Amino acid sequence: MRHPSPSAFWRILVPCLLLWLAVAGICPPAFAQDLPPRPSPPRLVNDLAGMLRPDEVAALENKLVAYDDSTSSQIAVVTIPTLGDYELADYAQQLYEAWGIGQKGTNNGILILVAEKERKARIQTGYGLEGAVPDALAKRIISNTVVPAFQQQRYYDGLDRATDQLIALAKGEYKADPATNRRERSSDDSGSGWTFWLVIGVLVLFLLMRNRGGGSGGRRSRGFGGMGIPPIIFGDFSGGRGVFGGGGGGFGGGGGGFGGFGGGSSGGGGASGDW
């Protein structure tokens, strides 16, 4: 029985793998391009929708910077003009991860996201503060503090009181408990996660099957480690190219005041509401 040539197999397999990787989430989500860039110089209060006066922004910033300095926990306030075509919870999760709110390892950050056009607000908690600010309490702050003030267009009052309540809840708790750390490691620290290893398993299985089928003679295809895997799958690790090529940059600080976000993560905890 004639076996298909390796080159023909790769011509079919590679596009299928790339499509699957995009759907599975290894490739960056398309709407990441629509997120506001991480502020430079760094700021905890980013009123991109212009809902606050400059003195109100300064007052909130000073309070949250002082809290960050004394505890290392970070509360970021972001207002945006519109969500566009995206859901509030998805937008908050992606923005949280893109900016890296909180400290890496302790994940002690909180994001308050306000979408002006949709009249929606959300509190998004980091892994390390889920115990101090559970979803039920986050919902209570949104419903009892943020929404009533926003309905009267008292945006600063709502945000000021909400941040006071969050600080009171989170005060002193800026270390993730062991259960949170285990969940974080299982979902984040493995790099690309289970999908990466599933792809590796598929490739290894193909190589084993091809070797069992015997060589077809002639020139071998060149690839990763001499195993015949096309370099496009793994990329050039030294240069950061290819499908799994890494990005650059970190969480650099800047200027005086707030020193910058620390690379924290969120598991999607929090609550939303609208006014």
In a domain, 45, yes or no: yes
Residue 222 and residue 94 in one domain: no
Q: Which helix (H) or strand (E) holds 47?
A: strand 45-47
Pair 104, 170 in one domain? yes
What pLDDT does 251 receive? 29
Give pLDDT tens digits along the chain (275 positions): 555 566 666 666 667 666 666 555 544 455 556 799 999 899 999 999 999 999 999 999 999 999 999 988 999 999 999 999 899 999 999 999 999 998 888 999 999 999 999 999 999 999 989 999 999 999 999 999 999 999 999 999 999 999 999 999 987 543 334 444 344 334 444 443 445 556 666 666 666 666 655 544 444 444 444 444 444 333 333 333 332 233 333 223 333 478 788 888 898 899 999 99
262 is a domain residue: no
pLDDT value of residue 155? 98
Please give the pLDDT value at position 27: 47
Is position 185 within any domain? no
The pLDDT value given to residue 28: 47
Residues 38 and 163 in one domain: yes
Same domain, 83 and 39: yes
| Angstrom distance (rounded) from CA 167 to CA 161 | 10
Q: Whole-angstrom Cα distance, residue 81 to residue 118?
A: 9
CA distances (Å), origin 235, targets 15, 26, 263: 15, 14, 25
User: 14 and 94 share a domain?
Assistant: no
Q: Is the dihedral of CA 191, 192, 194, 196 positive or negative?
A: negative
Looking at the fold, whether 48 and 21 belong to one and the same domain comes out as no
In a domain, 89, yes or no: yes
Question: Dmax of the chain from CA atoms?
Answer: 79
CATH number at residue 140: 3.10.310.50
Residue 118 has what pLDDT?
97
The total of other beta-carbon atoms located within 10 Å of residue 236's CB is 11
At residue 18, the pLDDT reads: 65
What DSSP letter does each residue of 87-122 carry, written as one string? Answer: -HHHHHHHHHHHHT-SBTTT--EEEEEEETTTTEEE
Residues 115 and 147 in one domain: yes
User: Are 41 and 76 in a shared domain?
Assistant: yes
Residue 73 sits in the same domain as residue 146:
yes
Q: What is the pLDDT of residue 181?
A: 39
Range of the domain at 114: 30-176
Considering the domain architecture, whether residues 90 and 145 belong to the same structural domain is answered as: yes
Same domain, 38 and 170: yes
Residues 166 and 51 in one domain: yes
Q: What is the pTM of this model?
A: 0.62
Number of domains in the chain: 2
The C-alpha angle 237, 241, 247, rounded to 5 degrees, equals 90
Q: Given the structure tokens 């919902």, which residue do they identify? A: 139
For the CA atoms of 199, 202, 203, 209, what is the dihedral angle to 10 degrees? 180
Q: Identify the pLDDT of residue 170.
A: 87
Two tokens, residue 67: 């809290």
Domain membership flag for residue 134: yes
Would you state the pLDDT for residue 160?
Answer: 98
